[in-house]
Amino acid sequence: MPRTINLAKPLESREPYLMQPRNRRKFLFDPANSLAGIAVASILGRERLLAEDSPLRPKIDPSSPFASRSPHFAAKAKNVVMIYCSGACSQLDTFDYKPELVKRHGEPMPNAEKLITFQGAQGNLTKSPWAFKPRGECGKMISDLVPQIGEMADDICFIHSLTGKTNTHGPGENFMSTGFTLDGFPSMGAWVTWALGTENENLPAYVAIPDPRGTPQSSVNNWGPGFLPAAFQGTDFNAAKPLRNLARPNGIGEATDRETRAFLEQLNRRHLEHFPGDSDLAARISSYQLAAKMQLSVPEVADLSSESKAMLRLYGADDSSNELKASFARNCILARRLVEKGVRFVQLFNGAYQTGGEGVSNWDGHKALQKQYSKHGPVLDQPTAALLEDLKQRGLLKDTLVIWCTEFGRMPTFQAGASGRDHNPAGFTAWLAGAGVKAPFSHGETDEFGYRAIEDVATVYDFHATILHLLGLNHERLSFYHNGINRRLTDVHGQVIEGVLQA
């Protein structure tokens, strides 16, 4: 409705500010006040204290899509190594110590008589088959299943209060890797490399290292680009199986191969000159050039023959009695070598999915948890601890964020009629180490049995927001316009977990 003015009122009572006559003092004060407001807004903006909701999208040169780009603000971390335990590793048998669970072993869980979880009814409370002991100088209680990781506790920030959205492996893997339970969304590594590029021109910006036994249940969704440009998908290879079709054909020498690539590059450059501004052509030529560079760089970085015997021993890569551990150890060394070369995001998988495999190849401990975890624990433990120690000794940990995670947790009970724990997204553990996080530190807490997060409860969205923050990225503004929606890794959720950040 239009506003009206009551002409019967004296002039001074009408629209006190807009309609009163201006004197000299008021005339000078108003612009000064406005300028002060602008100055304050500028300061608040510089300190990132103003509410901001406009997208911050990287400006990408199609001819050099992986060029290093600046973060939104000063970053604590430059690189990421994400260790993913496929199959839902139990928090109660690794990092989340619950004395009450030990005390009440064999008793029914209170108020859970009719509790039905993913695979059915629950039995009684069941303590871990492995004892927990104080580790490191901080005395953090960690299981004998992973004692060597435990000895690195002084360098680790544990988050004990994560919660998920699903109790099914495939959607759970999707959720942890992409922020969505459905297929088709970009992985965290794709978001990061789209935003920041890489520090290495001869290697992929994003490398996924599958378990030697195969891929996780959600397979390539874990490192896919979703609706982001395809260039930002993870390149998957491991120490045992470098990229396919990388070697020169028989009969072609190194000099001939090099000269052929140089001639092809010249032709591509001339071709591009005839189509200035064709970003698709520029991107395609760039991908061919990277593939050519990888012919030399990938075999070099994946060749561990230059590693000393002491280094192989540190990781357990020389363990002839446990080939699974030795294989994972070699993958951990590969992860460190990739970080050394400036690769932005390395996703390292421990555990693979096998149809009908009863979880024997991953951490899905439904039926025989002690038997299965007794195999998986040694495979994970020494190589992971060695990776942390090695990164620290080389001075790389100060710029590298190491993430350990899994899709959800496990129940404090054993399943009815079984000797294993069912799925539990209501409370589980992940940890961070390296650039920008408090250590030693424990954030959040589950209840007395380790069933449900009750203190400083955090979502996977919060976890992702925190990781992006450490990389200098504002999760609320890093977005990609797709099908009419500004999509984010954190969807419309997420808050940075301030409690785990260094001051």
Q: What's the CA gap between 21 and 435, in Å, rounded?
A: 60
What CA–CA distance (Å, rounded) separates 390 from 334? 12
Question: In the prediction, which pLDDT does 453 show?
Answer: 98
Helix/strand/coil for 372: helix
CB 208 within 8 A of CB 349: yes
Beta-carbon contacts of 483 under 8 Å, excluding residues fewer than 6 positions away, are: 227
Task: Using alpha carbons only, give the angle 414, 367, 426 rounded to the nearest 5 degrees.
Answer: 50
Residue 319's φ and ψ, nearest 5 degrees, are -80, 95
Q: Single out the residue of 13, 170, 150 nearest to residue 86, CA to CA.
A: 170
Greatest C-alpha distance within the chain: 102
Query: What is the pTM (predicted TM-score) of this model?
Result: 0.85
The whole-number pLDDT of residue 152 equals 98
Token code pair at residue 62: 């199609």
Residues 400/79, Cβ–Cβ less than 8 Å: yes
C-beta of residue 212 within 8 angstroms of C-beta of residue 331: yes
pLDDT score, position 7: 38
User: Could you tell me which of 212, 183, 441 has the C-alpha nearest to residue 331?
Assistant: 212
Q: Are 367 and 417 in contact (CB under 8 A)?
A: no
What pLDDT was estimated at residue 13? Answer: 38
- Residue 204 preceded by cis peptide, ω within 30: no
Pairing assessment for the beta strands 423-424 and 409-410 based on DSSP bridges: antiparallel
3 state SS of 34: helix
DSSP string, 267-311: HHHHHHHTSTT-HHHHHHHHHHHHHHHHHHHHHHHH-GGGS-HHH
Task: Report which of 297, 305, 177, 198 is spatially closest to residue 242, judged by C-alpha positions.
Answer: 297
In tens, the pLDDT along 406-440 reads 999 999 999 999 999 999 999 999 999 999 999 99
Beta carbons within 10 angstroms of residue 389's beta carbon: 17
Q: Checking phi first, is residue 342 left (phi over 0); if not, alpha (psi -120 to 50) or beta? A: left
Q: What pLDDT tens digit does each residue of the chain (503 aa) get?
A: 444 434 344 433 333 333 344 555 554 455 445 455 445 544 544 454 444 567 999 998 877 889 999 999 999 999 999 999 999 999 999 999 999 999 999 999 998 878 889 988 999 999 999 999 999 999 999 999 999 999 999 999 999 999 999 999 999 999 999 999 999 999 999 999 999 999 998 899 999 999 988 899 999 999 999 999 888 999 999 988 766 655 667 777 778 767 776 777 777 777 767 777 665 666 566 666 676 677 778 888 999 999 999 999 999 999 999 999 999 999 999 999 999 999 999 999 999 987 554 546 899 999 899 999 999 999 999 999 999 999 999 999 999 999 999 999 999 999 999 999 999 999 999 999 999 999 999 999 999 999 999 999 999 999 999 999 999 999 999 999 999 999 999 999 999 999 999 98
Which whole-number Å values give the CA distances from 373 to 22, 121, 151, in the listed order?
Answer: 81, 22, 19
List domains and CATH numbers for the chain.
11-46 (no CATH), 79-243+306-500 (3.40.720.10)
